[in-house]
Amino acid sequence: MSDESMRGSSMSHVSYELDRGDHVAIQLVTYTCVEEHKTTLPFAADAEDIPTTWECACGETAGLPGVELPERPPIRTRRSHYEIVRERRSEDELAEIFVLKLHELHHYDSIRSA
Ligand SMILES: [Zn+2]
């Protein structure tokens, strides 16, 4: 296999050549997201308004070096059934309900076995 056949055109190949054959001076700008993913984009060398942030492929906001990234919203953890109940009732109330339900169950069992 010759070197020639090993070469191929990359799917990500980008031509910066203009129709008239001139080359545009470019600068590559790299953005980094909180997950440390790097996104490098070409901008014209004389571009004045290069965005300081860019959306990473993972969905996070990526920024130029030194740019403070927006804080990620806190991950909402799923509350247990007990935690939800505890928000509405005190331990004493729960103990009362527990005893009441035990009595109901005991009563139900005594009817059933009678
Ligand atoms: Zn990312």
Q: How is the chain split into domains, by residue range?
A: 17-63, 81-113
List residues bridging with 97 in a β-sheet: none
At residue 99, the pLDDT reads: 93
Cα(32) to centroid of ligand 1, in Å? Answer: 7
Instruction: Please give the DSSP secondary-structure letter assigned to residue 23.
Output: B
Cα(67) to centroid of ligand 1, in Å? Answer: 15
Element (H, E) at 95: helix 91-113
Cα(85) to centroid of ligand 1, in Å? Answer: 38
Which residues, 6 or more positions from 104, have their beta carbon under 8 angstroms from its beta carbon? Answer: none
Q: How many CB atoms within 10 Å of residue 31?
A: 22
At residue 51, the pLDDT reads: 95
Superfamily of domain 17-63: RNA polymerase-binding protein A (2.20.28.270)
Cα(61) to centroid of ligand 1, in Å? Answer: 7
At residue 73, the pLDDT reads: 75
> Has this prediction a pTM greater than 0.85?
no
CA distance from start to end of the chain? 91
Cα(54) to centroid of ligand 1, in Å? Answer: 10
At residue 5, the pLDDT reads: 45
Cα(108) to centroid of ligand 1, in Å? Answer: 58
Nearest to 55 by CA among 33, 40, 87, 23: 33
Task: Please report, in tens digits, the pLDDT of each residue of the chain (114 residues total).
Answer: 444 444 444 455 555 555 566 678 999 999 999 999 999 999 999 999 999 999 999 999 999 999 898 887 777 788 888 888 889 999 999 999 999 999 999 888 888 887
Q: Parallel, antiparallel, or unpaired for β 26-33 and 38-44? A: antiparallel
Cα(101) to centroid of ligand 1, in Å? Answer: 52
At residue 74, the pLDDT reads: 77
Cα(31) to centroid of ligand 1, in Å? Answer: 9
